[in-house]
Amino acid sequence: MVSYISLPLRPIHYDMKREIQIAILAIVTAILALWGYNFISGKNLLSGDKTYYTTISNAKEINTATPVLINGVQVGTVSSIQPQPDDIRKIDIGFQVKKDIKLPNYTVVEVRPEGPLGGKELELVFDKFCDGSNCAESGSYLDSKMIGLLGALFSPEDIQPHIESLTSTVDRTIGKLGAEGSDTPLDNTVRDLSTTMDNLALSTTRFSNLMSRSAGDIEKTMANMTILTEALVNSNAQLTNILNNIGTLSNDLSKVSLSETVNKTNTTIDQATNSLQSVEKTMEQATVTMTELNKVVAKLGSEDGSLGLLMNDKDLYDNLSTSTRNMNLLLQDIRLNPKRYFKVFGKKVPDYTLPEDDPAGN
């Protein structure tokens, strides 16, 4: 037999009341979470603060909790940081200021470092609060200015007296540099530097005058260079052919067997050396021959020996010349009158007839 356990039934209105409580708790929790997040981010949704904007080029070290100050008193915080869609180099900074602060429309937002250790802050610079006619409306853009670390630590009014004093001291010190009669190394250096600068100025003047006088020659030189360049451009094809020929010659030379060529050259040199040695021996023999010939000629010129007497005895020469002439006459007479010398078949030899133009008569 099955037994059933009966549970007590709760009223319907009790369950709906619990669900409503859970829903209300969830809504309140979400609102508190949203408010807390915005509060931590520097936004107070319940305060009614005014929101202003400014544009800068670098948002480094700026966040949504960066303070907004007026003469060192915090009056708000940065609420948004957003690059412009059209130019990402420009950053729009939104910040909230307490609702009772009335900023004039000429307020300048100075972005300056908080200190040497880093961080940034926004300083609102203006002379007095607005009176209603020149107030900046919530949501309007204000001008900005970037201030460096030195400008944030010292205001111009604070450092101006020191700058003036330092400038005066430096002027007096510089005015005394290089004074005559001072032998300090620095003064000597300054005087030497002054002399060097004067010489440099003189050299510059001379160079300028030289360039002015040589301007025409320089122009002619440049014109000639232009003509030469044009000629080179026009001769580009010929130069290309020459370079190609040189390349071909280099390739041919690279293919030549240098060792074989050197060996042949050495062989030729050896043969030439041998030929020179032969020529040298021939010249020595010729020298000996010429010496002997000189001796023979010398003997012919002397009266020693038959040849010497024959060449140097005038009487002997005259006799030989006369004998030769008579022999020639005899031979000529035999040729002209053979009958005088040969008797033919017992015939009587005719009388001698003197020929005309007898050589003997001459």
The pLDDT tens digits of the residues spanning 168-187 come to: 788 777 766 666 766 777 77
- Beta bridge partner(s), residue 145: 110
Whether 45 is covered by a domain: the verdict is: yes
Burial class (CB in 10 A: 0-12, 13-18, 19+), 121: buried
Single residue among 155, 183, 201 that ends a domain in this structure: 155
- Beta bridge partner(s), residue 96: 51, 77
Instruction: Check residue 107 and give its pLDDT.
Output: 93
Whether 306 is covered by a domain: the verdict is: no
Whether 181 is covered by a domain: the verdict is: no
Instruction: Check residue 104 and give its pLDDT.
Output: 92
Whether 271 is covered by a domain: the verdict is: no
Instruction: Check residue 126 and give its pLDDT.
Output: 93
Q: How far is residue 27's CA from residue 21's CA, in Å, rounded to a whole number?
A: 10
Q: How far is residue 337's CA from residue 335's CA, in Å, rounded to a whole number?
A: 6
Q: How far is residue 140's CA from residue 130's CA, in Å, rounded to a whole number?
A: 15
Whether 357 is covered by a domain: the verdict is: no
Single residue among 155, 189, 211 that ends a domain in this structure: 155
Contact between residue 187 and residue 175 where contact means Cβ atoms under 8 Å apart = no
Contact between residue 107 and residue 142 where contact means Cβ atoms under 8 Å apart = yes
Instruction: Check residue 2 and give its pLDDT.
Output: 46
pLDDT digits (tens, 9 = 90+) for 303-347: 666 666 666 667 777 788 888 888 888 888 777 777 767 655 555
pLDDT digits (tens, 9 = 90+) for 194-210: 889 888 888 888 888 88
Ranges of residues in the chain with a pLDDT under 50 are 1-7, 9, 12, 14
Instruction: Check residue 281 and give its pLDDT.
Output: 86
Number of domains in the chain: 2
Chain centre distance of CA 293: 79
Instruction: Check residue 16 and give its pLDDT.
Output: 61
Please give the backbone phi and psi of residue 120, each rounded to the nearest 5 degrees, phi first: -130, 160
Whether 338 is covered by a domain: the verdict is: yes
Instruction: Check residue 7 and give its pLDDT.
Output: 45
Whether 13 is covered by a domain: the verdict is: no
Per the structure, the complete domain to which residue 327 belongs is given by: 313-350
Chain centre distance of CA 79: 55
Helix axis angle, 215-234 to 236-255, nearest 10° = 60
Whether 224 is covered by a domain: the verdict is: no
- Beta bridge partner(s), residue 53: 94, 141
